[in-house]
Structure formats: structure tokens, C-alpha cells
Chain A
């Protein structure tokens, strides 16, 4: 039953979560999805995926490319349907993670250790009562941490986990959930990670050189501490979260020709991130309200020191970002089939850096979203209109960009032709933009304050079919298929000014993306074995249409494979669980000049994990052994950044 339920969650848009969390004292008032389907990895399924960070898990979604600089510490960013990293909103427990400086979120920094679900929406999320920010990106990833669940009669949950493995990795964590009365619960979670980041890799050419080296300076030390409070009020609920992350890591850098072992590369980065956020949800009859806030402080210190690395020049920069955010969202249910939503958000960002001629920018952003949805037996409609106003300030007069406002619409339609509701068709249109980041506009020597926002337009048509069977080996089958056309206009790109060291940002690019995302999933009962299978496939033709006179006009944009896909198969037998996952990324080019010099080979990795749980008295011990990159493929995701070969991880968790 549990497996079936988890499978159901995995396959389809998550239904009302209250069903799953029956024993929770504090039920999250999460609403059912209205229209847009999502890809979700959740619960046990997420746990069994040989994934350390959120980035590792997201690779199994269709339509997604992860840019991975290799190793545990390497930057990992997500690109959905080739529109670019900065068009993906990443939300942590419902509130967006910000990086006003460069607009990209390193998903490698977010652990799966305490994650309940990871969900990807193309277009936008469409639940009830959502903030204006939920409408404000071309696609969005929602990271939902675990909400405490207590079995009958229990007031405390304790779990201690110790993981470790290749690259000298040690990764202990602890989770303590405590019920405080009937209405309040607390969840404390702390995790520590250390890795040397050393791994062997080889570069080989047919009838040419064959070299093996060890990745150096890829060590990471990270501490994450989270405290969540969950409460219930009459016809509502509230949440409060404190998040702290502190890390130090080396930058292994690009692997380029050099006399082997001659020079040490010692670039380092320190990050300290803190945020606190909270939300309150309440219903007054047909009127529902959600209010939330966030304050975030991010500190980054980058050091490149010629006293440690003779080849480098001295760089010692500190960047401090602050963000304050408030949101009020409300929904009014006019009748059983018609809702109207109105949301208003305000955000304030500052960036402080010890750079020469730095203008110390700050940004006020005001967003307002008006949305409505209508549901009939066979047709569902949703439309929204987002207003965004952005006003930048700088310490120096005349240094800030002019204020800007934009109106951007979205329309979604769903059609359910059959009475058994197994088959649905959908279509959406969305136009949205990203503002130039503070780096794009103001970074000393590079920034250009005259930049316009980068716009995306998406057209998508798709279908979902699923069916459950009571008897036979096949218990459930689901299939989704989407075809889309996206356009990115005024794409902000770095362009050389007059030499290697001088670049500037310009609105130059135009990209057209034609794609197909498909996913097939199935659940089986094979005698005593329960099995499930999920396959995804993505086709993308993402072309650069910037300059009709360029010889590379119409070329496939960098790092986007024409074909990619994944396969995940899980088997349960008694207390054993076996999981096999496979990822395929087809051939692609590292530049829009699709010539042999820029060709990147396909890569495909197989990961295997075997888990078993043991009951010791009233306690449970779960053990998992993972083997990643089973066939030791030597590959790169990003040019000159080698990825690890075969590696292992052992995870032991003890549930008190």
C-alpha cells in the first residue's frame, strides 16, 4: 500500500498531501494541484536514488540539463528546456532562494538528507494561494524539506545517519523531531560534510595520448543546521525556519595542459549563508490567505593567493548579499468551479563587494499577480497576469540602471476528454523575463547598466495518460508527453571588449528551442517482488539565431544534447531494496560553432544501490551501499572539468 502510494506520488502530480501525513499533528495546508502537471521525486523514491545533493536527483527529470563542474564541491546548476539557469526559480520550503549577484543557484549546496520532495514545474506552479514569485520564472524547482510526522503515542523522533565513501567523504547528520503540545512541532536537523575531493580521471585519444591524473584542491567542508517550527491554528497553520550553512572549498579549476605536478592550484572559497523565513496560512470560509517573509544574508569570500600558487595573481574578494522579502497572497473561491487569486510581493536586495570602482547596488522589486482558475468536468482553465517593477539604486549618482516595469501573462488549459479521467491534454503559453543580475549591470569593468531584461516565451502542448490495474503483474502505467517551442530574446551574454581580460555584457542573443519531453512509468508486482520503472527521454533542438551573418547561425547552443534520457528501476523484496539508475546525455557541442574541435562525446553512467533495513528491538537500522558510475566511464559534463569514475558510498541510519 505504502509503495503504491509513493509510486502514485512519484508518477502523478502530487495529490493533497494530507492523505500521506495522516499522523502528523501539524498538517501542512498544501492544496491540490490545479492544472499544470509536475515532475516529482518524493520520499523513499528520492532516498533510493544514489543522490547526495538536489542536483543529482534533478538529473532524472525530463527536459533538464545539469551543468556539473565535477566532484562534490563543483558548481551544479540547472537549465530547464535550454532557456538558461537564470530562468529557473528555486524555492526552499515555498520561498525562493535568491542570488541577486549572479542569478544562479548552486544546487550542489542543497542536501537531500532532509528533503521530502523535489518538484519541477515547467511554466509555473498552479496550486491555490501562491505568492507572486511563484509566477515569476520560466520554470521552477520546489525543494520541500521533511515535515515532522509522529506515530501514535510518540512525541519524539530521532534519527542519526552516518554516510561515507570514496573521495575521503564523511557525512554525519542528525534529525530530531519533537512534538510540543498538540499544535506545535519542532524539527532540528544538522549535517556535516567533508571530502578530500580527490579522484582519478583519465583523458584518452584514439591513437594518441592516454593520461591519468588525480583531481586536486577539490576538498569541501560544509556544515548545515536547520531548525523548523510547525504550528496549527484554527483553520490554518504556520511555519518558521532558520537555515545556516557554512562551507570552505577548493577550486580545482579547469584541467588544461601543464607540466604534470609542477604547480599547485589553491584557489579557495568560503560561504556563509543564513536565512530565516516563515509563513502563515489561514482560511476564512471561501477566503484563504497566505502571508510569508524572508531575510537572507549570504557571505562569499574568494581567495587566490600567489604565496600558495605561483601561477596565479592575488585576488581576495568578499561579497555580502542581503535580501528582505514579504508576500501576501489570497484566494477567493467564488463558487465550486471558479477561484480568483491576488498576490503581492516586495523584495529588497543589496550587494556589497570590495572591488575597485564598485557602485554598491541595491534593488527594490515589487511583484503583483492576478490569477484566476475555472474548473469544469472536461475543461480547466487558468490565466494569470504578473506585474513587476524593479528599481535599482547605487551609491554613486548616475550609476544605477533606470527603473523598469513589465506585464507578463500566462494561460493554461487542460482538457479531460474521457469519463474515466485517465487521459488529459494540456497546453500553456507563458511569457516571462529575468532582470539582468547585479553582476550583469554593475560588476566593475564588465557590467553594463543599459542592459534590457532577457525574455522567454514558452508554448507547450502535452498529454498524460495513466491507468491502474488491480490484478496481474502490471499494476500501474503512466505516460506523459510534451512538445514545446521556447524563445529567448535579448539574451544577456558576455562579449569581449578588446582583449581576453576585458569583457562586457550585452543583450545580443536570440535562441529558439524546439523540444519533446517524454516519461513512462510503471509499477509491477512480480510474486514477492514489487518493482517499478521510470524512463524519461528529452529531445531538444536549441538553436542560436543571434546573427544571420554568422557562419554558426542556427547552430545548437553550447552543452545542449539533442538526445538525453534516464532510466530508474527499483525492486523491493522483503526488507531488501535494489535500485538501478541510468543517465544518458547524447553528443553535444561546447560552442555554437558545431565543429569537431568543439564536439563533446555522449556520456552515460549507471548507478546501483542496495539497501536493507533491520529491526533491533523497537529501533530500526537502515543500511545502503551505493556504487556510482559502475562502468567507470571517464567523462566531462563541462569542458575541461573531469567527472569522477566509479565511486562508493555507504549510508547507515539509526532510527530511535
Chain B
């Protein structure tokens, strides 16, 4: 009896000591959503943020020629990159032959080949946020400026990166918690939010002279600045998130000639915006703590006349399906409108494609918290 039990236990031990197989790299998931002709635009990349601390930033790709939406393409193309794309993707851009993803909580910018989405290199930048480019340099905004005597008053900076060597060449200290940037002529404009300094938000746009790479001016705009778009008339459209209590979200217009605010769009709240020709698409999903509710709007502004053309660019009522509209993009060739829905942030989101007149064409499942879309002229191999 005792021997039998010993044998059983030994057998059990042996069984348990067997090594557990490691998990597979998660393959991409392909859906046919229907293709189309978009001229020289081959498709788009979509960056999913992934919830903080879950290391679930992922990359999707849509191909116009085949009509295939491929979810989560990075891992299978880069099995050797430890922990895939990383934690909380915040921005995505194409410059030259490279695709750049700013991964906020991984404190790095991932650089890929735009034709293959294969890893080329990475640039470590603590608490990096957004990226823009000019003349062979990438500019990345970061919250992690130098710490002065009071650790609460920590300015952010903009890093200048050589796009060939992928080295940080210089940094320029700006305002508190800088977000999006645009470059007009030889000047870089960055929207300072001060989001970590509640209720003392920053309310300025920093102007950097690109020759000296020094901050030359701060333009006083409104609290908690975030998005930026540069139009064909030399004006910057900058959004303020407001304070979520009394001051609502709004859009302001800055002239790059005078470097001053020239217009305030009072009734234009903004969560994300994108410019296509003279049309500025603005959507807002603004939260108010007093009413514990969100207000959602989908507007188009003519940047030439500065008039709101419509407040409902989705015309077939399908916006009712959205749980948490999050990202916005417009295909410059087809004028198709893309809206992402982050849903509850902890399950996969969706991307919706609308015809230029605002009718739903297709939708597809994405990764968690789909946010940035960039159109590519090079078809993904």
C-alpha cells in the first residue's frame, strides 16, 4: 500500500516536472472588409494604445488593393523583439522609408521599415508623447524635462533626433507636459498641457527656432492644450481640453506670422482633429465632472472661412454604435473618414470607415484603444 502511494506520487512529480511549452507568438488576424482604389495611397497603419501596464500596444494594417484588414501585425513580423511593441502607443507617423511609433510607457520610439513593419531600431526617450519631422530630423515631445528645486514644477522638452543614425542630437526645454507639435517654416510649435499640474494647467504654446533649437516665445492660449494642425494659410489650429469642470474644451487659431492667437472657436470642442485640404474634421467627446456625462460632436470647419460647415459629418446615424469615439483620420485621396471606437478600453476596439458623405462603408475589430491612423503610399509586403 505504502509503496503504491509512493509510486503514484513519484509518477505525479515526474508528470509535473515536464516543462511547460512557451506560448506562440500571436499571429495576425485577417478580415476581408472590402477594398477600393485610393490612388497612390496603398493602405493605412493603425496604432492601438493598449491599456497602461498591459504592454498591449499593437499595430494593424488595412490594404486597399485586397480589402484585408490585418489586426496585430507587429508581433509575427518581429518575433525577436522582446515584449513586442510595448506599453501605451501614443503616436504614429511615416517619414521617408520609416514608420515611427511613439510608445509612451515603454519610454521609447520604435522605428520600423514602412514597407515591411520590421524593426530597424529604437530611441529611448522617457515619457515620450508625439512626433513630427523636418529636414532629416524627428522631433519628439516628452514630459520628462529637468527637475528643478520643486519636483512638481517639471518642464517638458522636445528632443531632436537624426532620422538616419537614430541618435538624440539635442533637446529643448518647453512648457509643462508638452503634447502635439507642428512645424511652420523654421519654427516648431508645441502645445503645452500641464495635465499633471491640476488645477494649474499650462496654457501656452512654445515656439522653438529650429536653427538655434531654442525656445523663442510662449504664446498664451488657454488651459490644457493638446492637438495641433497647420493649415495652408499659415495658421495653426490648436485645441484646449479645458479643465473638465467650468472651462469647456475649445479650438484656437494661432497665426504663424504674428505668433499670436487670432481667433477663438467658442463652440467647437475638440478631442481629436485632422486636416484634409481646407476641411478641418473635429470630433469631441468631452467629459464633465459636474454632470458626469460626455458630449459628443462630429464637426467640419472650413479653415479658409473659419465657419463650421456641419456638426454631423456622420450622416447615417451609425455614430450611435460608438461607445467611446477616440481617433479620427481622413484619407486625402478618397476623402473617406475613419473613426475609431475605444469602447471600454479593456477589450478590443473598432475602426469605422465612412464615405465622404458620412455613410458607413465597413468596420473592423482592432486592438485595445485604437487611436492613430497614418496612410501609407507604400504597400505593406
Count of A interface residues, CB-CB < 8 Å? 72
Known contacts A257-B83, A258-B106; A592/B347 CB under 8 A = yes
Bitwise, A180-210 to B at CB < 8 A (1) or not (0) is 0000000000000000000000011111110
A residues 444-466 in Cβ contact with B at 8 Å: 445, 448, 450
A314 within 8 A of B: yes
Contact B2 A527 (CB under 8 A): yes
Stretch at the interface among A103-111, A362-370, A387-395, A491-499: A491-499
Residue of A313, A495, A504 touching B154 (CB-CB under 8 A): A313
Contact A257 B126 (CB under 8 A): no
Question: Is A501 close to B, CB under 8 A?
Answer: yes
User: Do A596 and B26 touch across chains, with their CB atoms under 8 A apart?
Assistant: yes
Beyond A259-B108, A313-B127, whether A207 also contacts B49 by CB under 8 A is no
Most A CB atoms within 10 A — which of B16, B72, B152, B324? B16
Say if the beta carbon of A334 comes within 8 Å of chain B: no
Q: Is the C-beta of B92 less than 8 angstroms from some C-beta in chain A? A: no
B172 within 8 A of A: no
Q: Does A531 contact B (CB under 8 A)?
A: yes
Q: Which residue of B lies closest to A447 (CB)?
A: B289
Within 8 Å by CB of B22, from A204, A499, A591, lies A204
Q: Does A262 contact B (CB under 8 A)?
A: yes
How far does the Cβ of A439 sit from chain B's closest Cβ, in whole Å?
16
Determine how close the nearest CB of chain B comes to the CB of A244; give it in whole angstroms.
Answer: 31
Given contacts A257-B106, A526-B2, contact A305 B151 (CB under 8 A): yes
A209-B79, A597-B72 known; A259 vs B124 contact (CB < 8 Å)? yes
Interface pick from B51-59, B184-192, B299-307: B51-59
Interface residues of A in 626-652 (CB under 8 A from B): 630-631, 633, 639-640
Using A306-B154, A496-B344 as known contacts, say yes or no to A313 and B271 having CB atoms under 8 A apart: no
The residue from B5, B88, B344 contacting A531, defined by CB atoms under 8 A apart: B5
Write out, one digit per residue, whether chain B residues 10-42 have a CB within 8 A of any chain A CB (1) or not (0).
Answer: 001100110111111111000000000000000
Evaluate whether A498 and B143 lie within 8 angstroms (CB atoms) in the complex, with A254-B53, A259-B107 already known. Answer: no
Say how far B119's CB is from chain A's closest CB, in angstroms.
11
Partner of A257, one of B17, B87, B143: B87
A356 to B196 Cα, complex, angstroms: 11
Chain B residues in 8 Å Cβ range of A259: 107-108, 122, 124
Report whether A601 and B53 are in contact in the complex, using a CB–CB cutoff of 8 Å. Answer: no
Contacts A257-B84, A263-B107 given; indicate if A205 touches B344 (C-beta within 8 A).
no
Does B380 count as interface, using CB distance less than 8 angstroms? no
The closest CB in chain B to the CB of A606 belongs to B16
Check if B22 sits within 8 Å of A206, measured CB to CB: yes
What count of chain B residues pass the 8 Å CB interface test? Answer: 75
A residues within 8 A CB of B127? Answer: 311-313
Shortest beta-carbon distance, B304 to chain A, in Å? 30
For the complex, give the distance between the alpha carbons of A499 and B324 in Å.
9
Who on chain B is nearest to A504 by CB?
A: B292
Is A595 part of the binding interface, using a Cβ–Cβ cutoff of 8 Å?
A: yes
C-alpha gap A194/B285 in the complex (Å): 48
Q: Which of B24, B367, B368 contacts A205 (CB 8 A)?
A: B24
Contact (Cβ within 8 A) A306 B49: no
Known contacts A258-B107, A496-B342; A208 and B25 CB within 8 A of each other: yes
Q: A257, B85: Cβ atoms under 8 Å?
A: yes
Give which listed residue, A207, A256, A311, A502, contacts B53 with CB less than 8 A. A256
Question: Is A15 among interface residues, defined by CB-CB distance under 8 A?
Answer: no
Nearest-CB residue, chain B, relative to A524: B5
For residue A595, which residues in chain B have a CB less than 8 angstroms away from its CB? Answer: 348
Q: Do A254 and B87 touch (CB < 8 A)? A: yes
Interface residue? A136 (CB, 8 A): no
Which B residues touch A313, using CB under 8 A? 127, 143, 154, 196
Q: Is B346 an interface residue (CB 8 A)?
A: yes
At the interface, yes or no: A529 with Cβ under 8 Å from chain B? Answer: yes
Are the C-beta atoms of B25 and A606 separated by less than 8 Å? no
**In this complex, which of A312, A499, A529, A631 has the most chain B Cβ atoms within 10 angstroms of its Cβ?**
A499
Select B87's contact among A256, A310, A604, beta carbons within 8 Å.
Answer: A256
Beta-carbon contact of A593 and B53 below 8 Å? no
Judge if B253 is at the interface, Cβ distance under 8 Å: no
C-alpha spacing A597/B50, complex, angstroms: 11
By beta carbon, the residue of chain B nearest A210 is: B22
Known: A496-B344, A498-B286, A500-B369. A256 touches B25 (CB 8 A): no
Q: Which residues of A contact B287 (CB under 8 A)?
A: 497-498, 502, 504
A445 / chain B contacts, CB cutoff of 8 Å: 198, 244, 289
Complex interface: chain A residues within 8 A of B244 (CB): 445, 502
Asked if A590 is at the interface of the complex by the 8 Å CB criterion, the answer is yes
Q: B196 contacts which chain A residues (CB < 8 A)?
A: 313-314
Check B213 for interface membership: any CB of A closer than 8 A. no
Do the beta carbons of A207 and B25 come within 8 Å of each other?
Answer: yes
Q: Kindly state the separation between the CA atoms of A590 and B55 in the bound complex, as whole angstroms.
A: 12
What is the minimal beta-carbon distance from A415 to any residue of chain B, in angstroms?
A: 34
Please state if B348 and A593 are interface contacts (CB–CB under 8 Å): yes
B77 to chain A, nearest CB (A): 11
Q: B58-88: which have CB < 8 Å to A?
A: 58, 72, 75, 79-88
Task: Give which listed residue, B19, B79, B105, contacts A207 with CB less than 8 A.
Answer: B79
B195 within 8 A of A: yes
The answer to whether A257 touches B82 (Cβ under 8 A) is yes
Interface residue? A575 (CB, 8 A): no
Would you call B9 an interface residue if the criterion is a C-beta within 8 Å of the partner chain's C-beta atoms?
yes
A526 contacts B72, CB within 8 Å?
no
Check B13–A606 contact: CB distance below 8 A: yes
| B267 interface hit (Cβ, 8 Å) | no
Please list the 3 inter-chain residue pairs (A to B) with the smallest Cβ-Cβ separation, ordered nearest first. Answer: A257-B86, A208-B79, A256-B87
Given contacts A258-B106, A504-B287, A599-B23, could you give 4 more A-B pairs where the C-beta distance is less than 8 Å?
A205-B79, A259-B108, A504-B292, A551-B347
Q: Show 13 residue pairs from A and B whose CB-CB distance is below 8 angstroms, ordered by the A residue.
A: A206-B23, A208-B80, A254-B87, A255-B83, A313-B154, A316-B151, A529-B2, A551-B347, A590-B54, A597-B56, A606-B13, A630-B17, A639-B55
